Structures are given as structure tokens and as C-alpha cells.
Amino acid sequence: MNITTRFTEEMVSLAKSYCDNPDEAAAPEGGGSFAEYAMISLHGLRIFLDETYKMTIDRLEVMRPILEIIGLEPDDLPHPST
């Protein structure tokens, strides 16, 4: 297991424990369908990788094991303008 995988597992665990309802959409009022913990995890990963959000999203499109940990599919990734 590499360091990015370990970091992502820890980030998802922490993000889920932070959220009142980890499965609730990050923006339940029509702003998206993925869970709040997933958005927190994506931003934590962006900081960990020291990349722009767009670069992180582009990288994650081909990092299926990391997406599986977060609970997303490549088509689920938010637009980089999110």
C-alpha cells in the first residue's frame, strides 16, 4: 500500500467522522449528489498532493483504487470549478 492510499483511507475515515450524516449530499439543495465526506476527502487529497483542484481531478480520473476508497466513480468526479 502506498502513502497516497494510506492518506486517502485516513482522510475518508476522518471526514466521515466529522460529518453529521456522511451519506448526505455535500450540497443537498440542488448542488450535487456526492456525499459531504467525499468533497472533504477530495480537498484533503488536493492539499496532500500539493496540486490545483483541476490537476487533482484530472489525476483521479485514472486512479481507480483511490476513487474506490472515496466511494466515487470517474464519472462522479465534480467539475474542477466546484
* 14-68 pLDDT tens trace: 998 988 776 665 544 544 567 888 888 999 999 999 999 899 989 998 899 999 9
Q: Is residue 31 part of a domain?
A: no
Domain of 65 in residue numbering reads as 1-17+38-73
Q: Is residue 66 part of a domain?
A: yes
Q: How many angstroms separate the CA atoms of 37 and 9, rounded? A: 12
Q: What pLDDT is recorded for position 72? A: 86
Q: Tell me the backbone φ, ψ of residue 61, rounded to 5 degrees.
A: -60, -25
Q: How many angstroms separate the CA atoms of 55 and 68, rounded? A: 19
| Total residue count of the chain as it appears in this document | 82
Each residue of 38-50: b (16+ CB within 10 Å) or e? Answer: bbbbbebbbeeee
| Tally of domains in the chain | 1
Q: Is residue 2 part of a domain?
A: yes
Q: Is residue 42 part of a domain?
A: yes
